Structures are given as C-alpha cells and as structure tokens.
Amino acid sequence: MKRGSQIKKYMMGTGVVLVVTILVWYTKRGEGVLSENGNLVRKEWGMGEYEAELILEIDGAKHSELAITVPEQHLTLDEEELYLALAVEEIRESFLGVNESLEAIRETVFVSSVYQEGKVLADWNFSNSELIAVDGTIHDAVMEEDKEEVIATVYLTCEDSSLIHEFGFTVYKEEKGEEELFYEKLYLLIAESGEKEGTELLSLPMEINGHTLVWKNKESRLPIQVFLLGMMIVCLWPAIEKEREKEAKEKRRVQLMREYSDMVNKLALLLGAGMTLQGAWRQITKNYSEEKTKKRGVERIVYEEMLITQREIENGKGEIKAYESFARRCELQKYRKLSSYLVQNLKKGNKGLCELLEREAAETFSERKNMAQQLGEELGTKLLFPMLLMLGIVILIIMVPAVLSFQTGIS
C-alpha cells in the first residue's frame, strides 16, 4: 500500500513537470522577433536599440546563432553631427586600452565598429594593414623590436552625416580567415541596411558569396530547463522524504525520552494514593485532555499514546494487550520495560509496582539530566564556529586601525 502511494506521488510529480514544461513552451513559442516577411522591426527614436537572437541557416542547414543589433530609426542632422563629435572623443579616450601613449603601444588597443552605443558606425583603414589585427591585437613577433608608426583613418558615419578622423599609432593586423571575412561582410550588409531611411524594418541579407542565408527565431531553452529541473526534483523527492521521516522519527524518540520520567512519576503518585492501575491511567489521560482543551497546549506524544491505549481498553481490548501495544508504538526499551511491569502487575498482582515505578522515575530523572547536559555540550560545539568568526572580526577591528596609523606614522 505504501509503495503504491509512493508510485502515485512520483507519477503526479512527473505529470506536473510535464504540464509546466508544456505551458512554458506554449508561452515562449510566440516570442519571435522576426516579422512575417523575415525582417526586424526598428524602434522609434528614443526607445533605444535592442538585440535580436536568431538562428542562421546557410544553404538550408543550421550554421550558427547570431545576436543582431537593431538600431533606432534615423536622427536629425544636428544630432548626427553631435554624435560624430562625441564618437571622436570616445575613440581618443578608449583606443589606448592599457597602453600609456600612442608612441609606446605594446598591448592590445581598442578598435570597434560602433561607437556612442551603436549610433555611430566606424570603418577603420590603416596605412600598414599587415601590422594590426581587426580586434587591435599586437603580434608577439614584432612587439619588442619592429615598431612602426601607422596612420589610422576612421570613417565615421551616423545616418546621413559622416566624418573622417586620422591619427598615428603602432598596430598589428593578422590575416583574416574565410569565416571571419564572411561574418565581417554579413555585419557590414546589416549595418548598411540599418542606415536606410524611411523604413521601420531592418532587412537581413539572404545571400552572401553564393551562400543562401535563412534566418530563424532562436528557440527558448526555458521549457527544457524547466523539465530537467522538475525531473531532478522528482528524482530527489524520495531521498528528501526519507530524510524528513528520519528527522521526525528522531524528534519523536527524543521527546518520548524526555516525557518518560514525568509520566512514570505521575503514575507512581496515583498508585501510591490508592488508585488501581486502570484508574490511574484513566485519570492521567483525563487531566491531559482537559489541559489540552482549556489551554490549547502543545501535543505531548506519550500522553497521546496513553489516550489511544485508554480508548482501546474502553472499546473492549484487554488491558494486557493494550499496554503491550502501547510499548510497541513507543518503540523504546524504557517503555517496553514499563509495559512488562504493568503486565506483571495484572498477571501476578505484584504489590510492589508503586515502589518499582518510583525507583524507575528516579533513575530516569538522572538520565534526563545527563541528556540535557549532553545536548548543552552539543549546542556549545555548534556555537564554536560563530564565536571564532566573531573573534576574527574583533581582531580585524582592532588591528586595521593600528596598521593604518603605523603606516601613516612612517610616511
């Protein structure tokens, strides 16, 4: 029965994961950025540019995933001239990279095809195209000795306006591969399409160097991720439930150990007052029920088990079997020992039951004190790391000002 219930839970969990995955896929499938005729919609001025993630198919086969920057619509003439001037300043500030000056270029320089957040396109031309790479990387073979002054001419364009900016520096260029040339031409064609006026669409090239290009929306991976995450949770759920059951069982065991002394002591007092075993048991459960109802107190496991035993006796179950069932449910050696005392009293009429219970209560109280001491030691061990962490913080608070004042005194 328990195994069938677990299988039912796993099937329900798997079903929930599948439903969520389907819903996410259905939600994400209509989020493509391509229009019906295969173009990208350009936002109006002031709304900013955006990146469209697309899949490129060449000659009918998937080739790569590309992020296409879709610019805003065209600017006014004054705005174009302003952005051109700002682009020149940006080139002067960013070109050196980590180098100190244009006369001592030894590290990679910053070369970009767009400036001012994509509003200005830059076309670079170098007087010595053999020494500079398209990304501004310096060749190791000539970095130390073969330094050359190269004149860079940057053709800046912003909508209809253009500007030529020239300056000298030492650069190095590497040979471009066929694939790099292909993508350079691809992005150039896309940039040229973005310069066109009077259109809300950014036209994408359909053919380059005899290759047929097919553009597709990039499919979202979120449904697959949701499915994998959900299945992982479903697979780990049995271990989680097992750990929870283990923790609950340990918590129940500790609570039964703590409550044993109190319960035995009450039972011994009532028996010593002249009550029968069944009367004492009934009185304890009655007092607990009233206290629980009036004060809405927390349930105490041992008294809940005693209530079950009392109901079993009232329903016609024999006292001996009821007390034995009580011990089995509690699952601790102490309760089995107590059950044997009670059963022996019923079978043989042992008049020394009260003394046995009083001695048992005294021994259990001593064990309870030892348990409390052990729990306190464990708690102290758990607090050791936070205390060491606080000690480290205090040492830092004391040492840092001292070190700083020492350094200030030296200087």
> What is the tens place of the pLDDT at every residue in 317-332?
888 888 888 888 888 8
Start-to-end CA distance of the chain, whole Å, equals 80
Q: State how far Cα 148 lies from the chain centre.
A: 51
List phi, psi (to 5°) of 279. -65, -40
Which two tokens mark 199? 């259109």
What's the confidence (pLDDT) of residue 156?
92
Q: Is the pLDDT of residue 143 over 70?
A: no
Tell me the average pLDDT across 100-120: 80
Question: For residue 115, what is the enclosing H or E element?
Answer: strand 114-115
E strand map for 193-331: 201-202, 207-208, 211-217
Top-ranked range on mean pLDDT: pick from 144-148, 308-312, 398-402: 308-312
- What is the C-alpha to C-alpha distance for residues 224 and 81, in angstroms, rounded to an integer? 48
244-269 mean pLDDT: 85
pLDDT digits 0-9 by tens, 262-296: 888 888 888 888 888 888 888 988 888 888 887 76
pLDDT for residue 211 is more than 70: yes
Give the pLDDT mean for 136-146: 58
Question: Are the C-beta atoms of residues 66 and 56 closer than 8 Å to each other?
Answer: yes
Which has more confidence, 327 or 100? 327
Q: Does residue 202 carry a pLDDT above 70?
A: yes
Tokens representing 171 are: 């650069």
Assign 28 a pLDDT band (cuts: 50, 70, 90). low
The DSSP 8-state label assigned to residue 74 in this structure reads P
Question: What are the phi and psi torsion angles at 27 (to 5°)?
Answer: -70, -40
Residue 66 has pLDDT above 70, yes or no: yes
The listed range with the strongest mean pLDDT (79-83, 85-89, 123-127, 182-186) is: 85-89
Q: What is the pLDDT of residue 173?
A: 42
Summarize the confidence of residues 309-314 as an average pLDDT: 89
Token pair recorded at residue 181: 């040339």
pLDDT at residue number 87 = 92
* Tokens matching residue 257: 């150990």
Q: Is the pLDDT of residue 365 over 80?
A: no
**pLDDT level of residue 17 (50, 70, 90 thresholds):** confident
Higher pLDDT, 236 or 372: 236
- Residue 88 half-sphere exposure toward CB, CA atoms < 13 A: 13
Question: CA 185 → CA 125, 128, 409, distances in Å?
Answer: 15, 21, 62
Return d(Cα 77, Cα 100) in angstroms, integer. 36
Mean pLDDT within 252-259: 85
Write down the mean pLDDT value for the chain: 78
- Token readout for 194 is 């973005």
Residue 11 is which amino acid?
Answer: M
Q: pLDDT category, 101, cuts 50, 70, 90? A: confident
What pLDDT score does 273 carry? Answer: 83
Q: What is the pLDDT of residue 288?
A: 87
